[in-house]
């Protein structure tokens, strides 16, 4: 996907679980998104979007909200249960390097299917 398409509001929407940065914990990790945020606005924003052809759930909080799941690895491993309309992904972070090494199926199996689903959704 090129930059023009990515930034086209009629084709791509990025919805965070919160519209704020919640700060850091004592160890310097990001705090979780405050649950009040999603409870307050998420359903109405999703409704306003209308017919969404593809949803990419990035990280545990999005997966839990939409799928009711808790384990990122188990949820992402079961991606076929939700495709082609929904793809759960791990959060893109440098901390996930070890996760990606332990789960080579993610890059080999899921990512090619996601690329095709993105192409199809943008047709």
31: domain CATH number is: 3.40.470.10
User: Could you report the per-residue pLDDT of 22-76, keeping only the tens digit for each?
Assistant: 999 999 988 999 999 999 999 999 999 999 999 999 999 999 999 999 899 999 9
**Residues 10, 53: Cα–Cα separation, whole Å:** 12
**Residues 75, 39: Cα–Cα separation, whole Å:** 22
Q: What is the pLDDT of residue 122?
A: 93
pLDDT at 93 over 90: no
Q: Which two tokens stand for residue 54?
A: 């593809």
pTM here? 0.91
Rounded to the nearest 10°, the torsion over CA 90, 50, 12, 109 is: 40
Q: Quote the domain boundaries for residue 97.
A: 3-121
- The domain tally of the chain equals 1
């Amino acid at each position: 996907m090129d930059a023009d398409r990515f930034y086209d509001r009629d084709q791509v929407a990025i919805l965070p679980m919160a519209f704020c940065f919640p700060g850091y914990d004592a160890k310097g990790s990001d705090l979780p998104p405050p649950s009040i945020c999603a409870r307050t606005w998420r359903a109405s924003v999703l409704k306003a979007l209308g017919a969404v052809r593809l949803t990419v759930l990035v990280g545990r909080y999005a997966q839990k909200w939409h799928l009711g799941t808790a384990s990122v690895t188990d949820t992402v491993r079961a991606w076929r249960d939700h495709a082609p309309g929904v793809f759960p992904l791990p959060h893109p972070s440098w901390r996930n390097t070890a996760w990606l090494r332990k789960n080579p199926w993610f890059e080999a199996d899921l990512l090619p299917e996601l690329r095709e689903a993105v192409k199809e959704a943008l047709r």
